[in-house]
Amino acid sequence: MNLLIFFLLQAEELAGGLVETMPVLSETAETAQSMNLWDLAVKGGWIMIVLAVLSLIAFYILFERYYVIKRADKEDPEFMFKIKDYIKDGNVKAAITYCQKTDTPAARMIERGISRIGRPVNDVQAAIENAGNLEVAKLEKGLNVMATIAGGAPMIGFLGTVIGMVRAFFEMSNAGNNIDITLLSGGIYQAMITTVGGLIVGIIAMFAYNYLVTLVDGIVNKMEAKTLAFMDLLNEPEQ
């Protein structure tokens, strides 16, 4: 009986200890949950504003170029067949009109070649290549900015890291013997958060840049295929 009473008393003490620790755990959980992404970004300082602007520019270029490239990628499977029929019939004006109606980089490039029909083949090919270079330059507009953001954002983040560490050591030196971890938290927050922010922006910009370059390369390959088909058409022997 005494042994049973002893165990009951021990269980009561253990339960009381758990109850006392619950408010502390609850307070810690509430503190952890109160820290959100906005609070972290604010602690990163002005470097985070620069990174935010760079991220907006990167996303704008991504969506704007994606729309332009997808429009340029639309293709009429019968395009070269119709051009071939027009050329063989001697209806050059109809071929030029059809190219203008199609309104794609490949069509504008072929249109330049059609307008040179009657001149030496080398002149026709040079005109097509020049038009193709201009079309590719239009498709790649803004990609150099995207590449710069991909490489520059992590460096800006590392700059924020150095600034944050300098701030932390400056506050440590001014504190003297009264060093408190709260004095260093601001600088350490800035150092770590800017690094993370710079890497996130840089990684997103890098993947976006490579994706857009892949889309442009696909269009360039189609333009080259149409150029070869058009030059073969001009070199076909007359029947």
The pLDDT of 43-66, averaged and rounded, is: 87
pLDDT tens for 197-211 read 889 999 999 999 999
State if pTM tops 0.85.
no
Average pLDDT of every residue of the chain? 77
How buried is 153 (Cβ within 10 angstroms: 0-12 exposed, 13-18 middle, 19+ buried)?
A: buried
Find where tokens 């150092």 sit: 191
Give the pLDDT score at 7: 39
CB atoms inside a 10 Å sphere around CB 176: 7
pLDDT tens for 80-104 read 888 888 888 888 888 888 888 888 8
Q: Cα torsion at 76, 79, 81, 86 (round to 10°)? A: 150
Q: Indicate the length of the chain as a whole number.
A: 239
Q: What is the Cα–Cα distance from 18 to 6, expressed in whole angstroms?
A: 19
Lowest mean pLDDT among 28-32, 85-89, 140-144: 28-32
Lowest mean pLDDT among 23-32, 185-194, 226-235: 23-32
In this prediction, what percent of the chain has a pLDDT beyond 90?
Answer: 23
What's the pLDDT band for 74 if we cut at 50, 70, 90?
confident
Query: Torsions phi, psi of 119, nearest 5?
Result: -90, 170
Give the pLDDT score at 212: 94
